[in-house]
Amino acid sequence: MTSPQENKDSIGKDLVVYFCLLALAGVQFIIAYQNLDPAQMFARMLAVACVEAGLAALFFMHLWQEKRGFLIFVSIFVIFVLLSMQFGWTDSFRMVMGAPFSKY
């Protein structure tokens, strides 16, 4: 059973992470209103979003308490799933335009 002191420390850590996530959301808001070319904006927004997702997964899903091997497995698996999803995006254009070079 957890003691009240351990619970208080846990809530404090969660609040710090929560406010960091709010600050990162504010950074994304600031980036969105900067006058940048699309490639720079995409890179900056993607970097901030990856940091936000990492913080949320590590602390709110308690992955930081797991063994290092499991954390590495989850990271590699998520990257694999996201990269494999990229092969489906090109097929989505077929619904709008049909198959390329088709005669219908």
- Please write the tens of the pLDDT for every residue from 6-56: 556 678 888 888 899 999 999 999 999 999 999 999 999 999 999 998 888
Contact 49, 28 (CB under 8 A): yes
Looking at the structure, tell me whether residues 27 and 51 fall in a common domain: yes
- Under the banding of pLDDT at 50, 70 and 90, the label for residue 84 is confident
Q: Give backbone dihedrals phi and psi of 68, rounded to 5 degrees, phi first.
A: -60, -40
Domain range for residue 81?
A: 67-97
Model pLDDT, residue 9: 65
C-alpha atoms less than 13 angstroms from C-alpha of 78 in its C-beta half-sphere: 10
Res. 65 pLDDT band, cuts 50 70 90: confident
| Single-letter residue type at 87 | F
39-44, long-range: CB within 8 Å, 24+ apart, which pairs?
A: none
- Assess if residue 8 is contained within a domain: yes
1/35 same-domain check: yes
